[in-house]
Amino acid sequence: MSYASTVLLWFAVAPMIAFAIEPVNKEYLLRQKVRLAITLTNEGSEPVEVSDPTCRTNLQPEFALRVPAAADEEEPKEPVVFGPNGYRPAAPVERTLMLGPGATWTGELELNGLCPLNDEGEYEIEATLALQDGKSAKAPKKTFVMKTAQPYAVHHSEGVRPFGAGLGIIVFLQGKKESASVFKAQYNESEPHNLEVRVKPMREAAGARENATDILTPWLNAAPFSDLIQWMVWREGKSVLAMNTIQKAPASVELPSKPDFLVRPPLQTAKGPVEVLALDGKALTLVVVPKRLKPVPTVGWTQELPEKPKAITAILGPEELGSVRHLAFATVDGGKVRVFHGTYSDSGLGKFESAEIAGLSGGLLPGSPLAVAATGDGVVHIAVLGRKGSSEVVLGSVQFGVPDKPEPVVAVKDVGKLEQSVTASDLNVVTFEGKLLRIDAAVQTADGETWNVTEEGKLAQVSPKRKALPPFTIVTGRDVGYLLCTDEVGAFHMQPLNR
């Protein structure tokens, strides 16, 4: 390599540098941040100046990465050679470090964006650091494995969307319930006009104990990143665990009994705590997680709902209307579906009102899809997906608090028939700037195909076919909703639904 691009301090005594690299983890998920720990030790008696291995404009050290060979390739691939600058232009002068006699320097270099990390399998990496007098220090070869994410529980955050574009974080439990890990990743609808959502490299946030489930992250009535701290919540048996992006380990509180599940989503105002609801039969418990760097979750109250829900959800009303906590749930009795709306506060549940949605003789679809939103005019909008008979898909909606309407306004729309049975479904009531915008609704059938309800109110098949993540989830975008799924190589992907 030419030394015209590097600046090194020359000494009469040849430098003695011990150089070592080590992947921070032995295994990574595709699109996870891959970090390489680097150690330099001056074993000589004179100070030595060397290139900073973590400076992203330096050419040194020189790394050689051997990527996994494809199944149909007989010969291994040639190593990919790169420096800390990756594909960037190198700086005219290298940034350097001065190591005194006996001194050790440690740092980390993120490999994402510097080299290809797109395939499953074992990777080999080694490195060479150029020194003075044409000498070099060589770091022994190390290996790490890239594998496809296989989450068994996923959730995402939503809030007030800047200019209508989708923005938030994805949290998921990876591995087995006996020994899972909590991961998070940011998503951003970077080009709404092209229906493009970018999912950033994921990070491992924490290890979970046995039987971890119900991974959640709060929905807000403020911009998702108006606060630098984001939150993750999950359940392990009777315990609710909460962790922010600053903490190294979660805090927990034990509930009076093991709940059926945690209500999706938790809620959080811009300046308030995270509020988590846990359902056990008809009993609803509020868990409060203070907005602190080291929070101590507490149980607020436990009260009974009027009926046992088949489906339940919650949402925050607009900030200008007092950030009312709205609660919606649905019951199914034979061929009758009834929707309930109420509120809750720090002191407990408020009053409930209800309305029956006629025409859903087959009950709710698998996944028990139920969504709620509150608009700036004080109206609460609730939507459900159900069946009429065995194959007709029906979109039902109820509006509570419509001006000049003493009774709830109920609407039912037949959106189409499906030959295959429905295995999963989801929907969102989408608002923007305090007004109702649309309802995103989609289903998945037994053959793995996805169908969504278009603006015309009819089912249309989503193409190309993707593998949806569990549970079947729609993420809100500016013009359409997106199905949270995986792409051809198993990485997270947002599949746009039909308009």
Contact (Cβ atoms closer than 8 angstroms) between residue 221 and residue 212: no
Predicted pLDDT of residue 7: 38
Predicted pLDDT of residue 74: 67
Predicted pLDDT of residue 15: 64
Predicted pLDDT of residue 394: 96
Predicted pLDDT of residue 230: 93
Predicted pLDDT of residue 486: 82
Contact (Cβ atoms closer than 8 angstroms) between residue 252 and residue 267: no
Name the residue ranges covered by the structural domains of the chain.
3-147, 148-304, 309-437+454-459
At position 462, the amino acid (one-letter code) is: V
**pLDDT tens for the 499 residues of the chain, in order:** 444 333 343 333 456 899 999 999 999 998 899 999 999 999 999 999 999 999 999 999 999 999 998 766 767 778 999 999 987 777 788 899 999 999 999 999 999 989 999 888 999 999 999 997 788 999 999 999 999 888 999 999 999 998 999 999 999 999 877 778 999 999 999 999 999 999 998 999 998 877 899 999 999 999 998 888 999 999 999 999 999 999 999 999 999 999 999 999 999 999 999 999 999 999 999 999 999 889 999 999 999 999 999 999 999 999 999 999 999 999 999 889 999 999 999 999 999 999 999 989 999 999 888 999 999 999 999 999 999 988 899 999 999 999 999 999 999 999 999 999 999 999 999 999 999 999 999 999 999 999 999 999 999 999 988 888 889 999 999 999 999 998 777 778 899 999 8
Predicted pLDDT of residue 236: 94
Predicted pLDDT of residue 35: 96
Predicted pLDDT of residue 8: 40
| Domain spanning 3-147, CATH architecture | Sandwich (2.60)
DSSP 92: S
Predicted pLDDT of residue 4: 38
- Looking at the chain, the number of H-run helices and the number of E-run strands are 0, 42
The number of angstroms, rounded, from the C-alpha of 12 to the middle of its chain's C-alpha atoms is 55
User: Buried b / exposed e across 23-44, counting CB within 10 Å, b at 16+?
Assistant: beeeebbbbbbbbbebebbbeb
CA distance 273 to 263: 16
Q: Which residue, among 484, 434, 426, 479, has the nearest Cα to 452 in the 3D structure?
A: 426
Q: Which residue, among 399, 481, 491, has the nearest Cα to 438 in the 3D structure?
A: 481
Predicted pLDDT of residue 14: 52
Predicted pLDDT of residue 443: 96
